[in-house]
Structure 1
Amino acid sequence: MGGSSLLDLPLLLFIVISIDGALCRNTVSPWLGMDSKWPQVKKNFTKSEAMCPEGQHPVGDICCQLCPPGTKKAFDCVMDGGKPTCANCAPGEDYTDHPHYYDKCLRCGLCDGEHGLEVRKNCTTLQNVVCGCAKHFFCNSPECKHCEPCAQCEHGILEECTENRNAVCHVGVPRNKWLYLLLLLSILPIILLIIYCWRRKCKQNVYTWKVRNEEIIPLSYKDIDLSTHIPKIAEKMELDQVRRFVRKMGTTEVKIDQVKNDYSNDTEEQKIQLLKHWYESHGKKGAYGRLILGLRDIGLRVVAEKLQEVISAHPENQPENGNSSVLHIQGLDSS
């Protein structure tokens, strides 16, 4: 009886170990022999969590060294800690300025002469182009995307224009003090005539003058879908006018330069792409009114009026109530 109990003890121990392995499957079991998947799971977990030495990049379950500046990754490495196949960036076209694991180089920037910029250092495979303000231009912001023309001093210069500061001009003082009196006497009849006209109930004429000089937006129009009008809008505007408008609307210089690079030989397509980007960013709601007001804000009132005529002439954009004379005058008193 005692011998039978001793023989049953190993069998009982084996059953306990088997139950532990079944219950603890896919968990951290102290019985590694019963859970042979754990070492492999632990290894894959370590690699997938990017636990690579500094200066290496995880690729699957191995780590690869980085490509040096001036190159891009062509093919991954084939062994842990190995070097990938790196290809050189195109001189004068793109670059990388630090070790990395990207399969593309960064595109070289442009120094746009239309914005008063000139090249200080050419783009190499190791660094981007370095731009600066051209002669007679300045920029007073830390990162210059475009430079402003220096002031033209009519009465002489106190301080010369530099790359970081505009010129300081002398304030002109007329030598002949009688000039002020002569000027006052010449405009005095005009002032008196205006006062007389106003008191003689010429308000209607003044009202008409104001209407012509205030912002006018059709009230009876719905939000117009400008996507079909963009080619016609681009046709009525110069490239510089389109750039000024989209810049006013918040389009970045990076996007403007990208469109210029992508369509360098097609100025018409540059205008269309810039206007499309603005419209997609803004959305249909309020875009028509924003277009007209934005053009007026940057001094392109004539262009705005032409576009109003072209867009409102389209059959789909006729006022719902059939009365195209319903207008909203911003900034005009109701009196």
Structure 2
Amino acid sequence: MFVSDCRRLRRRSADCTYGTYQHDGKTCCFCPRGYRVLSHCTATDRNDTECQLCDNGSYMDHPNSDLSCQPCTICNSNANMKVKAKCSEYSNTVCGCLEDHYCDKGDHCQICKPCGNLIIIVTVIIIIQIIAEGLEIAEPAQYSVFSLLSSCLSKRCENEVKTKCTETNNTVCGDATPKSSKTTAIVVPILVIIIIIIVVVVLFIIYKRRQETDKPMPKEEEKPLQGVDVDVDINEYLPEIGEHLSWKVMKRVAQHSGMTTATIDNHEISYPTDPRQQTDGLLRDWYQTQGLYKAYPALIKSLCAIKQRRTADEIKQIVEKGEAKKRDINETGHVQ
């Protein structure tokens, strides 16, 4: 083996410490952990594999023949999570729960719950999700509300604590059945009644909003949008288009177009407090999946399908104005 530069190395069959793999009928050496395959062993040098160190933000924790490293996991602070071990070229990020929070989902944990009365906390989660889904509240806001409410309902053991709350388990009381303090016993029923009233009011508002949405559009708006199926590449218009799209609208466009939930959620997790960055990133990813000349008509049609005709018209105006300006430049040779 010899090092070609600070980020690359070549591995020969005589030094295949980490094992071998088959590629185009040749036996090549695995790259070690922390590296990916830059080029497979070739016909001129059948026993040579070139490896490259993983870039920042990615890792590889085992010998491999992959052409790309794995992206590092992001610990979502809005989900009460923290970084226990930073990601390196050789290992993924290790996430843990903040103090007085726990998660019993192991490696599949997505949110840490405050140590407290499980029945009440689960009720709070369900109510928040119902309200958030109806009003299309972003996940970071859901986490914030959840943390605020559930932190007020922390478990109190009337007798001794059998097992303290840890990162992976909730508090266990010595009397086997968790009991609330007298104050909690009074507050909880009142809180439940208030929450029920809030849910009823919110559901009524949602119902009224949907009625408004389902009203027949004026005849002028019912006319099909003209000039959609044209060969226009909207790449240069994406920054301006993004200003007319909210995160929830862009998310619905992506879902309507068949993008995976994981891809969409990745943008939300990457910028938990910046909806503008979330929208711009998802818009650009969505554009790349559509292709040069299919993105424009696909965007307009998706917006119409999710009843966002006004936004569709605004984007049409952006594109038509830009294309008209190009034609003017081509015809006159200068910008007016």
TM-score by length of 2: 0.43
Q: Which has the larger radius of gyration?
A: 1
TM-score by length of 1: 0.43
